[in-house]
Amino acid sequence: MSEANAQAIANQPLDGEPAARVLVAGATGFAGALAARLVWRHPRLQLVAVTSRSEAGQRLDDIYPRHRVPLELIELDLAQADEIDAAIVAYPHGAAAPVVAELRGLGAQVVDLSADFRLRDLPEYERWYGPHGEPELLEGAVYGLTELNRDAVRTAELIANPGCYPTCSLLALAPLAEAGLVEGVVIDAKSGVSGAGRGAGEAMHFSNVGENFKPYKVTGHRHTPEIRQELRGMGARGPVTFVPHLLPLDQGLLASCYVTLSRKVEPDELRALYEERYAGEPFIELADAPPTVLDVRETNVCRIQPVLADGGEQAIVFAAIDNLWKGAAGQAVQNLNLMLGLGETEGLL
């Protein structure tokens, strides 16, 4: 470790002894960089290294001044990983699995931001993402949608952190699906540009995206099987249609979910269903007006409004998150907090 990094890490402000020493692998993408910032500012976690495959040697705060993480990026060197208690891995799909496997082999608790451990059905994974490098780890991975899976997260060693679209859609739909009320759903989802990642290239050029709006990957987005898997697991029936659209803004995701109900529902019942399901949840807000993406920007909150239509035969549920926070790095830290026995909201308020 460089002298400068060692000194910066020693000066990292902490509340007493750190609960864990944390590595962020792949810290130059949008989600990885935010994860590094969240860990750096976390009162109980010590950020001990940020890695990059192509930008090692640069300082993270030169690439992202706004995150203010004063560490030099290094290449991932697992020989030194014995100093690590936990890791957030922000590698591309496919590239993540081998790194996760090695980190697990060294005993580190891992939150993986990629899709590599989200789909329990290996052939389904390989259909959407190609060959899987570490299929034997699939069984032990916990799908880290915290609010829907909190107990399993607490005892997990490997978290498959959910995709941004699934996080928002599933939080919107879980109360209805678990109650057996979903007979079919159309999810019309809209995401800001940061969801496409830093390396998105010309497609995300301002001139193509600004003042523009469009659907994309209309019948084949990779988050579709993830949404279906979880909705089925909660008891939803009928067709699941998911269409993503690209918004001319940076961070923010809103899902408009149109649910064909299995029976007529009254407004009071609908409201009660959501209030009970999410009672005491620190990061869920139920709103009386439509949520907006600015309401949740730079927060780990999911803000939800359920309403009825078609005389109670249809529910429309709107949910908004910040795709980089609750849809990626924020939820990763939320999960890490639980895995380490810390307060769930620490470092996230």
How far apart CA 227 and CA 217 sit, in angstroms, is 15
Inter-residue contact 178 to 145 (CB < 8 Å): no
Residue 74 C-beta: closest distance to a second copy, Å: 22
**264 contacts a second copy (rule: CB under 8 A):** no
Task: State the burial class of residue 263 (Cβ atoms within 10 Å of its Cβ: 0-12, 13-18, 19+).
Answer: exposed
Inter-residue contact 261 to 315 (CB < 8 Å): yes
Residues 6+ apart with CB under 8 A from 272: none
Residue 267 C-beta: closest distance to a second copy, Å: 11
Work out which of 193, 236, 302, 321 binds a second copy, going by CB under 8 A: 193
Judged by beta carbon, residue 91 or residue 283, the one nearer a second copy is 283
Residue 154 C-beta: closest distance to a second copy, Å: 24
Work out which of 95, 106, 152, 200 binds a second copy, going by CB under 8 A: 200
Tell me, yes or no, if 168 is annotated catalytic.
Answer: no
How far apart CA 164 and CA 217 sit, in angstroms, is 15
Residue 241 C-beta: closest distance to a second copy, Å: 6
How far apart CA 187 and CA 259 sit, in angstroms, is 9
Taking CB under 8 A as the binding criterion, the range among 121-129, 156-164, 273-281, 306-314 that sits at the site for a second copy is 306-314
How far apart CA 88 and CA 260 sit, in angstroms, is 38
What are the residue numbers of the active site? 164
Task: Provide the binding-site residues for a second copy, judged by CB under 8 A.
Answer: 30, 41, 65-66, 186, 188, 190, 193-194, 198-202, 204-216, 218-219, 239, 241, 243, 245, 247-250, 252, 254, 256, 258, 285, 287, 290-299, 303, 307-310, 313-314, 316, 318, 320, 349
